[in-house]
Amino acid sequence: MSDMKFETKVIHAGIDPDPSTGAIMTPIYQTSTYVQDGPGKHKGYEYGRTQNPTRTALENNLAQLENGRHGLAFGSGLAAMDAVLKLLDPGDEIISTNDLYGGSYRQMVQIYARYGVVAHFIDFSDKQQFKDTLNERTKLIWIETPTNPMLQIVDIRDVCKAVAKKDILTCVDNTFASPYLQNPLDLGADIVLHSATKYLAGHSDVILGALVCNDEKLAEKLRFLQNAIGAVPGPQDCFLTLRGIKTLHLRVQRASDNATEIAAFLKKSRKVDKVYYPGFIDFPNHEVAKKQMRHYGAMVSFTLKNDSKRAANRVLNRTKIFSLAESLGGVESLIGHPASMTHGSIPKKERLAIGLTDSLIRLSIGVEHVDDLIGDLRESLK
Ligand SMILES: *Cc1c(COP(=O)(O)O)cnc(C)c1O
C-alpha cells in the first residue's frame, strides 16, 4: 500500500474497517483497559497508556504520510518533543535553528538546560557557524523549516548529510509545512515531529503531537519513553485528528494558494515594510524551498513601515475575518503578534537579531475565499 499517492493515503493509510462491526470510521475506543483471555493472553492491547486501537490507527496513518515505518502520538507537540529530548544525556548538546517555536525554545532553555543539556541556536545557512558549533558532544540537530515566524528555509538534505556519518540524531519539526508539503525522512532526517494541533488536525479543536521515524531501534526507544512518561493523547483526540487528516491535502493546497495571493497583495501595500514568504523568488533560500517543498505553505509574516507595537495593534484590532489568536493551521484565518504572544518568552535582543521586530504580524491563512481575506487586510491597514 506504500505506493499510494498522498491524496489516497490521507484517507486510507493504516485505516481498516473495525474488525468487530465493520464500522468504516475508526471507533473511539474509550477504554483504559482490556479483558484478557488468561493471564498474559491478550489481543495486543493491555492498558490504555500503552496501546489504544484509535491511537494505533492514527499512528499508522501518520507514519505513512511521512513515508516512515513508525508513528507515535503524544498529548501535544511539546510532549512529543520532550520524548525526543529525553533521548539525550547530561552533557549532550543540541544545535537548533535560531528562529524557533517559542515553546520549543523554552523547553530547551528553561527545562533541559537544568539537566545539563546545552542548546545552541544558529543560522543554518551560515555554514561556518554550523561547523564552529558542531563538536563531539553534539548529539541532536533540531530543525524547524519554514521557521516560526520568520519563515526562514533550512536545507534539510544538506544539514542531514553533513552529520550522516556521525552519532548525531536529526529531528525536523515539520509542523509548518505538514506532510503534504514536505517529507523530511525522505531528505535524510531521523525523526519528524508534528504539532498535529495545527495542519494535521486542521480545525483548531485538538491538541496532539506526533513523531515518525524509520529506524527500528530508535522507534523502540521512543515507544519506551512514550509509555514510561505517559504523555499520550486520548482516543477522542486521535479520532478528531484522523478525521482532520482526511482533508489535509485539500486544506493545505487551498490555504497555500490563498497565501501566495495575500503575500503578493501585502508586498504592494504602502503601509507594509517587509513581507516574509518563501514563495517570493527573491526570498532567501527560495530555491531550497522550491526543491524540498510541494508548495510554499500558508504562513505569511510582515512588518509595518511604522515599526511599533501601537501600529501593529491597530491592524490586529481591526480585522474582522482574521481572528486574533495564537496557533495556526486551522481552516479559519488567524492573525497574531509574535513579539507579545507566541514569542513572549524569547529575550528582546535575540528577537530583534532575527528581524522579529515590534510591528511583525504573523498570518495563518485559512481556506476562506481569498477576496474576503484580502479585503479584510486592506481595510485593517488603512
Ligand atoms: C504549536 C507548535 C509546537 C507545539 O505544539 P503543541 O501541540 O502546541 O504542543 C511545536 N512546534 C511548532 C512549529 C508549533 O507551531
The separation between CA 303 and the C-alpha centre of its own chain, rounded to angstroms, equals 23
pLDDT at 300: 98
Residue 2: predicted pLDDT: 59
Is residue 338 left, alpha or beta, with left meaning phi > 0 and alpha meaning psi from -120 to 50? alpha
Model pLDDT, residue 315: 97
Same domain for 259 and 114, yes or no, is: no
> What is the C-alpha to C-alpha distance for residues 236 and 350, in angstroms, rounded to an integer?
39
**Which of 223, 245, 267 is the C-terminal boundary of a domain?**
245
Question: How many other CB atoms are there within 10 angstroms of residue 273's CB atom?
Answer: 15
| Active-site entry in 49, 86, 106, 223 | 49
Active site residue 282: no
Considering the domain architecture, whether residues 181 and 219 belong to the same structural domain is answered as yes
215 is catalytic: no
Quote the ligand 1 centre to 341 CA distance (angstroms). Answer: 14
Q: Ligand 1: residues whose CB is within 6 Å? A: 76-78, 101, 103-104, 144, 148, 173, 175-176, 195, 197-198, 207, 209
Mean pLDDT of the chain: 96
Considering the domain architecture, whether residues 216 and 296 belong to the same structural domain is answered as no
Cross-sheet strand order for the sheet of 334-336: 272-276, 299-304, 361-364, 334-336, 323-324
94-118 b/e with 16+ CB inside 10 Å = b?
Answer: bbbbbbbbbebbebbbeebeeeebb
pLDDT in tens, 60-73: 999 999 999 999 99
Whether 348 maps to a domain, the answer reads yes
Ligand 1 centre from 118 Cα, in Å? 21
Pocket test for ligand 1, best of 96, 147, 148, 175 (most atoms within 8 A of CB): 175
**CA 54 to ligand 1 centroid distance, Å:** 22
Whether 1 is in a domain gets the answer no
What is the C-alpha separation between 173 and 103, in angstroms, rounded? 12
Domain finish residue from 190, 211, 245: 245
The range of the structural domain enclosing residue 373 comes to: 248-381
Q: What is the pLDDT of residues 181-229, one digit of tens each?
A: 999 999 999 999 999 999 999 999 999 999 999 999 999 999 999 999 9
Q: Are residues 236 and 254 in the same domain?
A: no
Does residue 320 have an active-site annotation? no
Q: Is the pLDDT of residue 122 over 80?
A: yes
Per-residue model confidence (pLDDT) at position 342: 80
Average pLDDT over residues 163-168: 95
115 annotated active-site: no
